[in-house]
A and B are shown apart, each in its own frame.
Chain A
Amino acid sequence: MIRLYTTEMEPQLSPDLIKIMNQRLSAIEHRNTVLQKLINQPEYSQEEFSRANKELRKLRDSMELINDLRAIQKEIDELKSLVSESADDKDMLDMALSELDEAVEEEKRLQTLLLKSLLPKDEADERDCILEVRAGTGGEEASLFAMDIFRMYERYSQKKGWKFEIVDITESDMKGYKEASAAICGANVYGKLKFESGIHRVQRIPITEKSGRIHTSAVSVAILPQADEVDVQLRNEDLRIDTYRSGGCGGQHANTTNSAVRIIHHPTGIMVSIQDERSQHMNKAKALKVLCAKLYEIERLRIQNSRSKLRSDQIGSGDRSGRIRTYNFPQGRVTDHRVGITHHNIEDIMQGENLDSFIDALLLRQEMDAIASFSSTS
Chain B
Amino acid sequence: MIRIFPSFRFTSLLSAAKPFCSVACSSSPAREPPPNLPYPEVKSITVSKTPKTPLFLRTPSHVTPLSEVWKWHDWAKDLASSVESSSTKSNDSLESVTLLRELKWLIEDTIVDDPLSILHKKEIEDDDKKKSVKLRASLEELYDLWKQRIENRRPFQYVVGCEHWRDLVLCVEEGVLIPRPETELIVDMVEELVSRDDWFKKGIWADLGTGSGAIAIGVAKVLGSRGKVVATDLSPVAIVVASHNVQRYSLEGMIEVREGSWFEPLKGLEGKLVGIVSNPPYIPSDDIPGLQAEVGRHEPKLALDGGIDGTDSLIHLCHGASRMLKRGGFFIFETNGEKQSKMIVDYMTNDLKHCFSDLKIVSDFAGIDRFVTGFRR
Contact = CB atoms under 8 A, between A and B. Distances in A.
A243 B365 contact: yes
Contacts of B166: 279, 281-282
Interface of A is mostly: loop
Interface in A176-218: none
B314 interface: no
Interface string B205-236: 00000000000000000000000000000000
Contacts of A256: 98
Contacts of B178: 255
B165 A253 contact: no
B356 interface: no
B155 interface: yes
Interface stretch (B5-13, B46-54, B238-246, B290-298): B290-298
B365 to A, nearest CB: 4
Q: How large is the interface on B (under 10, 10 to 19, 20 to 34, 35 or more residues)?
A: 35 or more
A330 interface: no
B196 interface: no
A54 interface: no
Interface stretch (A98-106, A109-117, A124-132, A244-252): A244-252
Interface in A251-281: 251-259, 261, 275-281
A49 to B, nearest CB: 32
Nearest to A254: B292
Contacts of A175: 120, 122
B45 interface: no
B180 interface: yes
B32 to A, nearest CB: 34
B312 interface: no
Given A247-B91, A250-B370, A278-B164, A255 B180 contact: yes
A242 B155 contact: no
A241 interface: yes
Most chain-B CB neighbours within 10 Å: which of A251, A277, A281? A251
Contact of A281 (B165, B282, B364, B368): B165
A252 B120 contact: no
A213 to B, nearest CB: 21
Nearest to B184: A281
B274 interface: no
A251 B91 contact: no
B181 A243 contact: yes
B287 interface: yes
A257 B337 contact: no
B101 interface: yes
A24 B180 CA distance: 62
Contacts of A259: 181
Given A253-B291, A277-B164, A245 B156 contact: no
B344 interface: no
A281 B183 CA distance: 10
A282 B164 contact: yes
Interface string B120-138: 1010000000000000000
Nearest to B122: A175
A373 B366 CA distance: 54
Contact of B180 (A245, A254, A275, A285): A254
A261 B184 CA distance: 13
B295 A253 contact: yes
Contacts of A255: 155, 157, 178, 180, 292, 294-295, 299
B304 A252 contact: yes
A251 B295 contact: no
Given A247-B91, A256-B98, A282 B167 contact: yes
A253 B287 contact: yes
A241 B365 contact: yes
Given A241-B365, A279-B181, A254 B164 contact: no
B346 interface: no
A285 B294 CA distance: 28
Contacts of B101: 257-258, 275-276
Nearest to B366: A245
B177 A252 contact: yes
B104 to A, nearest CB: 9
- Most chain-B Cβ atoms within 10 A of its Cβ — which of A252, A253, A254, A280? A252
Given A251-B180, A251-B368, A255-B178, A279 B155 contact: no
28 contacts: A241-B365, A243-B366, A248-B91, A248-B292, A249-B368, A250-B180, A251-B183, A251-B368, A252-B282, A252-B283, A252-B303, A252-B336, A253-B292, A253-B295, A254-B180, A255-B157, A255-B180, A257-B102, A257-B157, A278-B164, A279-B167, A279-B184, A280-B181, A280-B365, A281-B165, A281-B166, A281-B181, A282-B167
Interface of A: 174-175, 241-243, 245-259, 261, 275-282, 285
Interface of B: 91, 95, 98, 101-102, 105, 120, 122, 155-157, 164-168, 177-178, 180-184, 279, 281-283, 287, 291-292, 294-295, 299, 303-304, 334-337, 364-366, 368, 370
Given A261-B365, A280-B365, 9 more contacts: A251-B368, A255-B178, A255-B180, A255-B292, A255-B295, A255-B299, A259-B181, A279-B181, A280-B184
